[in-house]
Amino acid sequence: MSANSPSIERPALKNDRYLRALLKQPVDVTPVWMMRQAGRYLPEYKATRAEAGDFMSLCKNAELACEVTLQPLRRFPLDAAILFSDILTIPDAMGLGLYFEAGEGPRFKNPIQSKADIDKIGIPDPEGELQYVMNAVRTIRRELKGEVPLIGFSGSPWTLATYMVEGGSSKAFTKIKKMAFAEPALLHALLEKLADSVTSYLNAQIAAGAQSVMIFDTWGGVLSPRDYKLFSLQYMARIVEGLNRESEGRRVPVTLFTKNGGMWLEAIADTGCDAVGLDWTIDIADAKARVGDKVALQGNMDPSMLYAQPERIEQEVADILAGFGEGTGHVFNLGHGIHLDVPPEHAGVFVDAVHKLSRQYHK
């Protein structure tokens, strides 16, 4: 099925509080989901991944990607599902040869090193090289049966570029910063291609059934304030401007998340996004005071808090809810992905605490 196929008849959404909170509309309780909620902390995920053979085979099998997307929803009363995929699907589709080294994370066989490398890559066709992602979106929407909304996502152009130029994960980011400062025109050419690719990719996810989208700028925080705006934020703003914001008769909210981006909240809020994701290094009361009613906020409990005893987890949830205070516009989440060795029952305590303790703030 292509993005231009006739629209599929879909059941009405039974729980839309996540979408409502992103649009600052009234809700009964604060909605909650977790970054990496489908993942290695769940034994059933490990079993499904073993069945798939490896991580990318799991991503490329629509039925298995759907299965792991739904697994956390069977355990916990989460308010949203998030597409099971990877941020590096776009560079992989550009022919960079993504593979995963045991203990080292993602690597590329053909990293970007020159103008010729950038000239060679094209904008991937979301219903061509990336059709497996759209197939997963369609399958998940069908199997969700309208229970909760589905979040689609992409990495930001800057974050994708860091992996593509460094050849994988990095601690110092010397190769991409060398390109940024010695050959800025080269990096901007790459970022422009990536911004066009992400826009096309997210619009295709929306057409396939994603009801909200999120851009993960994992490495924006390694830049100086000036360079963050130059190499990361302006390209995310360009994507926001190019996204289809209406689908199936309702608005499709967009969330931007820059890890370690707390100093730039006002600038992120000015992009036209609906919500700003917060990591745990900023106090949510301060964040709310700074952005006012301009955007919703998502976050922001330290993922490591899930190692604590249940009563400590509940106290942390209570403190963050109190920090945000009354009214809508808060989607509760961790400040980054859940750790792989967190006891699943602790995640359950967290989700239940958000619903139970937030009711008093929504009268």
Examine the residue annotation and report whether 107 is marked as an active-site residue of this protein.
Answer: no
312 annotated as ligand-binding: no
Q: Which of 10, 49, 238, 245 is catalytic?
A: 49
Q: Which of 45, 163, 201, 235 is catalytic?
A: 163
Examine the residue annotation and report whether 49 is marked as an active-site residue of this protein.
Answer: yes
Examine the residue annotation and report whether 36 is marked as an active-site residue of this protein.
Answer: yes
Q: Which of 10, 40, 75, 238 is catalytic?
A: 40
Gyration radius of the chain's alpha carbons: 19
- The tokens of 146 are what? 């309208």
142 annotated as ligand-binding: no
218 annotated as ligand-binding: yes
Cα separation, 351 vs 332, in Å, equals 9
50 annotated as ligand-binding: no
Cα separation, 131 vs 119, in Å, equals 23
- The tokens of 147 are what? 């229970």
Burial 174-203 (b: 16+ CB within 10 A, else e): ebbbebbeeeeebbbebbebbbbbbbbbbb
Q: Report how far apart, in Å, the C-alpha atoms of 99 and of each of 28, 54, 104, 123, 210 are.
A: 44, 10, 10, 20, 27
201 annotated as ligand-binding: no
Burial environment of residue 325 by CB neighbours within 10 A (0 to 12, 13 to 18, 19 or more): exposed
Examine the residue annotation and report whether 238 is marked as an active-site residue of this protein.
Answer: no
336 annotated as ligand-binding: yes
302 annotated as ligand-binding: no
- The tokens of 226 are what? 């000036």
Q: Which of 86, 92, 117, 217 is catalytic?
A: 86
Any idea which residues carry the catalytic annotation? 36, 40, 49, 86, 163
Which residues are known binding-site members for substrate? 36-40, 86, 163, 218, 336
| Annotated binding-site members | 36-40, 86, 163, 218, 336
